[in-house]
Amino acid sequence: MAGYKLKILFILLLIGLASLSAKTQSVNLKKEYGNTLVQLADVLLQHQLKEKGMPGFGALKCDYDGVLHTRASESVYPFAVAYKITGERRYLEAAIRTGNWLIQQQEQNGSWKETPEEWTGTTTDQVLMLMLAWDNIAPQFSKTEKDSWRNAIHQAVDYLHGVMTPEFASINYVATTCATLAKAGTFFNDRKYADRANELAHRTVSKMDEDGFLNGEGGRTHANKLGVDLGYSMEMSLWGLGLYAKLTGDTLVNNAVKHALKSHLYFIYPDGSLDNSWGIRSNKWTTYGGATSDGCQVLFSLYADEDPRYGAASLKNLEYLRQNILPNGLIGYGPQHEEVMDHPPCIYPTFTKAKNLAMAYELETKLSRVLAKLPTEESGWVKYFKTIDVAQLRTENFMATITSYGYKDYKAGAKSKYMYRPAGGTISALWVKDHGYLTASSVTEYSRPEPMSFPEAPGVRSLTPRIEFTDSLGYFTNLFEFDSRMEAKQAGSNRFEVSVSGELKDKNWLAAGVGYHMKYLFSDSAVVKTIRLVYHDAWPVVKIIEPIIHYKGMVFTKIDAYTVLISAGKHKFRFKLLSDNVVLNMGKDGEHYWAPYPALKAFPLELEIRPPADGFNQEIRYEILVL
């Protein structure tokens, strides 16, 4: 009898282990990186000028503006790694061609201008890619090419050694230069480069706050910069610091990056999208990352041994990125690029993501990794990052980011490109399980601070949910409120509450006389928004705008004066007013609700609120329900 019981227990143990094994997913990340890298290398090769003797021979030509971007020659490294993966000489030849062309564009001081602009900070990206490519292709160089490349690399790192500081550039360039100079130290066997890298790395991590968010992306105060941008941190700065630490063995910097990564992981959404909806450079947010920043795979590959969730985050974001590759092979500006843009994208997203994947491929040390669930895949939590005044929460159906991030560019004020990001307690990203973004965000007012990167988009309206009014003094909205007060808490079993208070302000951060209190109540199937307006010095007609991301096939039906039914494939949503002092307008000016970044379009639901006949308070409640 005892033997029989032992046999049964043994069988049950085997079943349990088999079940556990079935639930444990493993993947060859190196192969995944390599597959997409070669795919992107192919399209980059199609854009290379390959006819000898022609002007620009070796450069990559951009479909969007026809410019031969010097930064596009960072493709030298993706080409070199594609050659390593496939053994095909066409990638080797492409790498040598573009490297030779880049060297011809070098300024006398050793820098490269980021054509068609005058900025030279990107020299750090270009010379790092040349050094990394060298490791793979230098044996194939002629004597002349070897001397030419080595001399150009030397001039470039000397330029960076002399000029790069947080006073000279935004912090992502400083962080990248830490890796560049550390690499140069071994490349030239010269300690001065490593010493400078060490100095810059320690200055950089000194600008991290307690939650691990890195300051230094915004406008200048005196000579220095402040301001956090999660996208540039995840896709540029943190991997630069991490690679520096790997090359030098700097444990202080390495530990700072590991600490930061624990917070940053929460901004990889369950579908793999990267949430930079709230960062100060979110004007380039594409939902998969940034349009001109590199990518997060290299960062996660550096630290994949630390936590199995990092490999999972890397893969999920890569899978999401793949969904943004257009039929022509280039990476677009977001999920609906082809629907909202009538021209091809700039080549920037394609070569930046390719170089990121090339680094991730080379840094990945294992052929198989066990993957773990992301924090955002687990439901039933709310998290408040006090240093940036940003809250996140997850229920069964919803994932949301609410931002009251209060960074101000005091010197530039309303002229600053960093002051049109979502703020004031708005929900900058609202995601629904098995659907995607229900609402997202874009700049409050669209402009083209860098014409190379920002396409023309006349008349576009912000995708960000907001409160607003316009009167004789101008345009006022909670999105220009950078002093709002926010609280986040659990409000019951799997119910979470976020409360925000502030003033409706103009782009100069001046209030006109209407305050607001917003309360968001999230449950598994619904978001209830309660907005109380306080008319203390002005009594305008106020509007609440809820732009719903309008994917193909979605249908909006107004059932009655209070209710809109939204059909989206297998999903149905109900937008319902719970107050009767509101006029609901549907689709008003809908043709203007689209954005280049992120490339999305929306269907606006507009709530029109007239000031109260008596008193000074007005409360509006409405619900978004997953049916």
Task: Express each pLDDT in 284-303 by its tens digit.
Answer: 999 999 999 999 999 999 99
Dist CA 595 CA 499 (whole Å): 28
Task: Express each pLDDT in 343-391 by its tens digit.
Answer: 999 999 999 999 999 999 999 999 999 999 999 999 999 999 999 999 9
**Are 347 and 47 contacting, i.e. CB atoms less than 8 angstroms apart?**
yes
Nearest to 390 by CA among 404, 408, 375: 404
pLDDT at res. 72: 98
Task: Express each pLDDT in 387-412 by its tens digit.
Answer: 999 999 999 999 999 999 999 999 99
Q: Where are the CATH 2.70.98.10 domain residues in the chain?
A: 379-626
Calculate the alpha carbon distances from 131 to 184, 239, 363 in Å: 8, 17, 15
pLDDT at 3 over 80: no
* Non-local CB neighbours of 34 within 8 Å, separated by 6+ positions: 81, 85, 357, 361
**Are 607 and 584 contacting, i.e. CB atoms less than 8 angstroms apart?**
yes
| Residues 314/131/116/408 CA torsion (nearest 10 deg) | 50
DSSP class of residue 73?
A: G
Its sign, for the CA torsion 477, 478, 480, 481, is positive
Dist CA 198 CA 203 (whole Å): 9
CATH topology of domain 23-376: Glycosyltransferase (1.50.10)
pLDDT at 40 over 50: yes
Q: SS3 of 215, please? A: strand
Task: Express each pLDDT in 499-552 by its tens digit.
Answer: 999 999 999 999 999 999 999 999 999 999 999 999 999 999 999 999 999 999
Query: What's the chain's average pLDDT?
Result: 95
Nearest to 78 by CA among 364, 350, 452: 350
DSSP for 97-111, please give it: HHHHHHHHT--TTS-
β-pairing verdict for 466-471 and 485-492:
unpaired
- The token duo for 298 is 């290299």
442 by Cβ neighbours in 10 Å (0-12 / 13-18 / 19+) ranks as: buried
Q: SS3 of 562, please? A: coil
pLDDT at 11 over 90: no
pLDDT bucket at 450, cuts 50 / 70 / 90: confident
Q: Where are the CATH 1.50.10.10 domain residues in the chain?
A: 23-376
Q: Which helix (H) or strand (E) holds 190?
A: none
**Are 48 and 100 contacting, i.e. CB atoms less than 8 angstroms apart?**
no
Amino acid code (one letter) for 234: M
**Are 393 and 496 contacting, i.e. CB atoms less than 8 angstroms apart?**
yes
Tell me how many helices (H) and strands (E) the chain has.
Answer: 15, 21
Q: SS3 of 587, please? A: coil
Its sign, for the CA torsion 610, 548, 379, 310, is negative
Task: Express each pLDDT in 584-625 by its tens digit.
Answer: 999 999 999 999 999 999 999 999 999 998 989 999 999 999
CATH topology of domain 379-626: Beta-galactosidase; Chain A, domain 5 (2.70.98)
pLDDT bucket at 17, cuts 50 / 70 / 90: very low
